[in-house]
Amino acid sequence: MKETDDMKARGLVVKQFGDWRNVEMGNVELPSVGPNDILVDVEAVSLNFPDLLLIEGKYQARPEVPFIAGRDAAGVVRECGAEVTRHSVGDRVAVQVTHGAFADRLIVAADRAARLPDALSFAAGAASATVFATAHVALDIRARLQPGERVLVAGAAGGVGTAMLQLCRLRGGIPIALVSSEQKAAFVRMQGAEAVIRTDLISDLHDGLRQALSDEGFDGVDVVADVVGGDVFDASLRVLRPEGRMLVVGFTSGRIPEMRANYALLKNIAILGSPLEHYLEISGVEVMQALEKIFVEIPTNDLEAIVTARFPLSDFNYAAEQLISRKVLGKEVLILKESLG
């Protein structure tokens, strides 16, 4: 490759904030590799709901345009900065960035890269990085999950949800999945859910969730991992046991819920924000080390099973449509080599 080409990344370029359907294939200049950075040749990326929010200008981060979107990528280390000790040229890695992943190469801080086992595909690495890092922060750091505790996972059939189910079981917890269809119910059972509750069979979620849990033999839960928000958050609060923890992870329903502070006092529960980006900023190496351990602890077949669809990067719009229509089980992965010319 020509040296001048090394300073450019080719991928999906956002020229202005707005409709994610307007992204175009193009080139963006890359800075020099800093002393604590690595340059990665990207093999696969995965699509996350925040990626679309970022393109629309609705996410907390607003990079200068033009930029390349995407937060999850997996590939091979091409170059290391002078002070990098955790990685070497040729390492297989999964990385997490605020943007820049939907391209053939990217520069990332070394402490935002986790080594991939040889047995794990690039597709599974790209699909697993953010969702398992999110689950680690939520269940291990924020909830301090203990063996035997019951965890209700809202939006359990999505990428973060499946990671929550698997990590909960690995930690000795009892994962209970909350989903909206029989297809999703079948999927989360394969992902390790101990019990499954279908919201589409509950006429009034606010009052019916407690009864649905009772029908499964549970008098409540110790932890709720909520990526949905809205009505699911409201109903889930009511099924927390004393000293239970509500983990606020995201709001895919679109409605950010509200609650009266006295409810937390009366119920003796805690509402815990679980911001992955915060922990990547203050302790990125520790999060990546935990992720590397998870890659080894969870069977490769289970990690690979998270990937339910593969598309060339040129099919980004179609993949995004599937994501926002809630048709996705697990994670969608975009493959680079098939679509960059």
Q: What is the pTM of this model?
A: 0.92
Residues 50 and 151 placed together within one structural domain of the fold:
no
Of 274, 289, 306, at which residue does a domain stop?
Answer: 274
CATH of the domain at 69: 3.90.180.10
Of 231, 251, 274, at which residue does a domain stop?
Answer: 274
Residues 104 and 13 placed together within one structural domain of the fold:
yes
CATH of the domain at 207: 3.40.50.720
Give the residue numbers spanning the domain of 119. Answer: 3-129+280-335
Residues 21 and 62 placed together within one structural domain of the fold:
yes
Residues 84 and 168 placed together within one structural domain of the fold:
no
Taking a C-beta distance cutoff of 8 angstroms, is the pair 162, 291 a contact? no
Task: Give a yes or no: residue 141 inside a domain.
Answer: no
Residues 168 and 264 placed together within one structural domain of the fold:
yes
**Per residue in 218-245, pLDDT tens?**
999 999 999 998 999 999 999 999 999 9
**Per residue in 8-64, pLDDT tens?**
899 999 999 999 999 999 999 999 999 999 999 999 999 988 899 999 998 877 899
Task: Give a yes or no: residue 154 inside a domain.
Answer: yes
User: Strand 150-154 relative to strand 307-312: parallel, antiparallel, unpaired?
Assistant: unpaired
Residues 119 and 34 placed together within one structural domain of the fold:
yes
Residue 1 confidence (pLDDT) above 50: no
Of 229, 244, 274, at which residue does a domain stop?
Answer: 274
Residues 264 and 179 placed together within one structural domain of the fold:
yes
**What amino acid occupies position 298?**
I
Residues 212 and 306 placed together within one structural domain of the fold:
no
What pLDDT was estimated at residue 112?
96
To the nearest 10°, report the CA torsion of 318, 323, 327, 329.
Answer: 110
Residues 125 and 10 placed together within one structural domain of the fold:
yes
Q: Number of folded domains in the chain?
A: 2
Task: Give a yes or no: residue 340 inside a domain.
Answer: no
* Token duo for residue 182: 């029989």
Task: Give a yes or no: residue 137 inside a domain.
Answer: no
Task: Give a yes or no: residue 104 inside a domain.
Answer: yes
Task: Give a yes or no: residue 72 inside a domain.
Answer: yes
Residues 18 and 66 placed together within one structural domain of the fold:
yes
What pLDDT was estimated at residue 4?
41
Residues 151 and 259 placed together within one structural domain of the fold:
yes
Task: Give a yes or no: residue 88 inside a domain.
Answer: yes
Tokens 């889930």 correspond to what residue?
A: 236
**Per residue in 147-206, pLDDT tens?**
999 999 999 999 999 999 999 999 999 999 999 999 999 999 999 999 999 999 999 999
Residue 328 confidence (pLDDT) above 80: yes
Residues 303 and 267 placed together within one structural domain of the fold:
no
What pLDDT was estimated at residue 249?
94
